[in-house]
Amino acid sequence: MNPRAEGHGHHISQQFNAELEDIKNHMLEMGGVVEKQLADALVSITSADSGLAKQVLVVEDDIDAMEIKIDEECSLILARRQPAASDLRLVLAIIKTVRDLERIGDESSKIARMAIKLTEEGDYPEGIVEFRHLGDRVARMVNMSLDAFARYDASSALEIAQDDLIVDNEYGSAMRSLITYMMEDPRSISRMLNLLWALRALERIGDHAKNITEHVIYLVKGMDVRHAPLANIADRLADSE
């Protein structure tokens, strides 16, 4: 059941409705900033743009400030309104999602730092094509997970979570390729290690995007699906329809 249909929009206090919508919108605005930061971090590596990478690092402070502000807003609602049912799930899902968004920002900053180091190395590293491909997939996961939250779409959230398995497989394949390259050419070790750390950051961002989809399912269905196999989640969602 759509949370809006279940509870939101039926409060006596329209102010409460407005407060819930405000914190949700603030979370989505933070998501937009994080998406832009990630996109810039990816370009900074693939284009060897250290100037853009430095801009990514500046944005990290803005994201931290947004996290603190939204957490404060959620705490005030919990204290003053004592929400229940779907309203409580919405506030808790926002708190958890904001935490994941902040960590995506941290990982994007790590990518930017690796971009600066790679630019200093001077050579375009082997494996950049694999990095670009994985980066595109992960960025799409982040975008789609936020879209699923905005639309209260549990079915889409499950599909996005399945993409994390593809990300893990592609990450493993890219890691093996780069390690093989380092073994064949020890002179490349420094450059490859920087790219490996950037790939690791991408894999972690995929995990956080998956976490957001789990928050969406919790919000919409009231199900805690953390650590549950995807097949089981699909069955539970089908049973709840």
Ranges of each domain in the chain: 3-240
The answer for 125, left when phi > 0, alpha when psi is -120 to 50, beta otherwise, is: beta
Split at pLDDT 50, 70, 90, the class of 54 is very high
Residue 235 predicted with pLDDT over 80: no
Residue 146's CB is within 10 A of a number of other CB atoms, namely: 24
Confidence at residue 5, expressed as pLDDT on a 0 to 100 scale: 40
If one compares 6 and 142, the residue with the highest pLDDT of the two is: 142
CA atoms within 13 A on the CB side of 33: 26
**Length reported for the chain:** 241
Residue 158 predicted with pLDDT over 90: no
pLDDT tens for each residue of 159-174: 888 888 899 999 999 9
Q: Say which CATH class 3-240 falls into.
A: mainly alpha
pLDDT tens for each residue of 184-232: 888 888 888 999 999 999 999 999 999 999 999 999 988 887 776 766 6
CB 130 within 8 A of CB 214: no
Confidence at residue 15, expressed as pLDDT on a 0 to 100 scale: 86
* pTM for the predicted model, two decimal places: 0.89
pLDDT tens for each residue of 26-46: 999 999 999 999 999 999 999
Cα–Cα distance for residue pair 23/46, rounded to 1 Å:
35
Task: Name the nearest CA neighbour of 89 among 211, 216, 208, 1.
Answer: 216
In angstroms, how far is the first alpha carbon of the chain from the final one? 8
Residue 84 is given by DSSP the state -
